[in-house]
Amino acid sequence: MLYRLKAEGFEAHLVGGGVRDLLLGREPKDFDVATSAHPEDVRRIFRNCRLIGRRFRLAHVFFGPDIIEVATFRGHHQGGETDAGDHSERNEDGMILRDNVYGTLEEDAWRRDFTINALYYNIRDFSVVDYTGGLEDLRAGLIRMIGDPEIRFREDPVRMLRAVRFAAKLGFRIEESTETVFWSLGETLSQVPAARLFDEILKLFLSGYAVQVYELLRHYRLFGTLFPYTESALEIEEQGFPLVMLVQGLANTDARIAEAKPVTPAFLFAILLWEPVRLRMQQLVAEGQSELQAIQQAGDEIVSRQNLVISVPKRFSLQTREIWNLQVRLKSRGGKRALRLFSHPRFRAAYDFLLLRAHAGEEDKELADWWTEFQTQDHHGQNGMVDKVADTRSSAPRRRRRRPRRRPAGDRT
Ligand code: ATP
Ligand code: MG
């Protein structure tokens, strides 16, 4: 790939996470290439190539299962917003809306985010090109913003989340002048398009270091901008089990990733948004709704408000809400209900979620144990278990209901 670009007369280097991870002796997740070739050149040279991005145009070149991101060297933005014409654009807060001004290798280095991400591997002589002091920071374990942190984070507030992600993943410290602006610029994250934040949230929390990420985000007061409803729920009950449940859930996520088990975005958001849903549900129950109605409405409300900040695609948020609804439904096990729940596509996730809640002292351990036992039984044993539970139609939930059953419009979406 690199040789091919060179043969065509272009400069081409490995850059970014791949170089950083190789130098740290870690296995690189993927490789990024920086080149003097323009996207159109890359497309001409590689047939298996697709140009993507508007804000930041680059080429994806496919090699079997791997995708290599090929970016053209970025240069300085000249003068005001309009000078660079169609290629570069900022809003009045200095946020970069488009960055397609091309430049030299050195200019490219200074436009990258952190020094440890601006190291280039030169295949011609196997040397590392370092304009920004990245090698030294790599040795010292520091995440340092290139240039003036205030300006560079305003250009792209997502860089704060990237700093947190690299700090958690590499066990690095965020250098002082870099981190001080977090407390004042945290709010600017709300200007970032909600769809881009969704992608970043997945990278943050599904990288295997979710607990550290969460702690850093709260430390820098970035968590509240991303998850305002969770933040206020936690402030109400900081001392109680909610925190345990959230952190425990993230720890489980990390453990699953360490064992190479799948973790779905739906389950992740079920954990991250559970506190506000639980509190809202309690309110609605106190106002006389059934638990099932209450959890459906609470889930609906929190998901749609949260979506304004981080847009979770519907295919995931529907599953998230099923996991929540099942927390109520798993309590009624009489008749044919247990078997029906058992074959629900979200049963496994809902059961895992129930375990977490039981573990945090939020739900009776007996209920969780019952379902654990149920899964080990054969058909006959399962029937026996169902016969023993006394929660058929006439029992507890109905007695607690203060108002007649009413199905609110829009309880299914
Ligand atoms: P990962 O291991 O997650 O792939 P990475 O450092 O390679 O980490 P990428 O998102 O793949 O991260 O980006 C590749 C490189 O592009 C980065 O190392 C960095 O030099 C540059 N880069 C990415 N995003 C930004 C940004 N928002 N601002 C400035 N430079 C960026
Ligand atoms: Mg990368």
2-19 residue pLDDT tens: 889 999 999 999 999 999
Question: Model confidence at 169, in pLDDT bands (50, 70, 90)?
Answer: very high
Whether 32 is catalytic is yes
Going along the chain from its start, the domains and CATH numbers come out as: 1-137 (3.30.460.10)
Of ligand 1's atoms, which has the minimum distance to the CA of residue 69? 11
How far, in Å, is the centroid of ligand 1 from the Cα of 82? 26
User: Would the CB of 53 count as within 6 Å of ligand 1?
Assistant: no
Mutation to probe ligand 1, out of 20, 22, 72, 113 (largest number of atoms < 8 A from CB): 113
Report which of residues 16 and 94 the model is more confident about: 16
How confident is the prediction for the chain on average, in pLDDT? 90
Q: What does the alpha-carbon distance between residue 129 and residue 106 come to, in Å, rounded to a whole number?
A: 9
Share of the chain above pLDDT 70, in %: 90
State which of 22, 162, 164 you would mutate to test the pocket of ligand 1, scoring each by most atoms of that ligand within 8 A of its C-beta.
162
Q: Which residue puts its alpha carbon closest to atom 6 of ligand 1?
A: 17
- Determine whether the shortest distance from the Cβ of 152 to ligand 1 is under 6 A: no
Q: What is the pLDDT of residue 401?
A: 46
pTM assigned to the model? 0.90
The pLDDT value given to residue 409: 54
The pLDDT assigned to 76 comes to 81
| Spacing, Cα 224 to ligand 2 middle (Å) | 27
Spatial distance between the Cα atoms of 130 and 105, rounded to a whole number of angstroms: 11
* 77 touches 155 (CB < 8 A): no
Q: Angle 365-376/347-359 helices, nearest 10 degrees?
A: 140
Report how far ligand 2's centroid is from the alpha carbon of 19 (Å). Answer: 9
Residue with more model confidence, 237 or 396: 237
- Cα 409 to Cα 412: distance, rounded to the nearest angstrom: 8
Overall average pLDDT of the 395-399 stretch: 45
Ligand nearest to the CA of 22: 1
Looking at the chain, the whole-number percentage of residues with pLDDT higher than 90 is 75
Better-scored residue on pLDDT, 50 or 83 = 50
Q: What residues contact residue 115 under an 8 Å CB cut-off, 6+ apart?
A: 132, 133, 134, 137, 142, 144, 146
What's the pLDDT at 287?
97
CB of 29 within 6 A of ligand 1: the answer is: yes
Q: 28 in ligand 1 pocket by Cβ < 6 Å? A: no
Which ligand neighbours the alpha carbon of 113 most closely?
A: 1
Query: Is the per-residue pLDDT at 211 higher than 90?
Result: yes
Q: Which of the two residues, 142 and 124, has the higher pLDDT score?
A: 142
In the sheet that holds 66-72, the strands lie side by side as 49-52, 58-63, 66-72, 32-35, 12-15, 119-122, 127-130
Nearest ligand, measured from the Cα of 117 = 1
30 lines ligand 1 (CB under 6 A): yes
Query: Is 156 an active-site residue?
Result: no
Q: Is 30 a catalytic residue?
A: yes
Of all protein residues, the one whose alpha carbon is nearest to atom 26 of ligand 1 is 113
Which of 170-174, 202-206, 330-334 has the weakest average pLDDT? Answer: 330-334
CA 306 – ligand 2 centroid, Å = 28
Pocket of ligand 1 contains residue 16 by CB under 6 Å: yes
Angle at 160 between CA 319 and CA 112, to 5 degrees: 115
Catalytic-labelled residue, pool 30, 83, 199, 369: 30
State the pLDDT at residue 64: 83
- Residue-wise pLDDT tens digits, 217-243: 999 999 999 999 999 998 887 665 567
Instruction: Single out the catalytic residue among 108, 113, 130, 254.
Output: 113
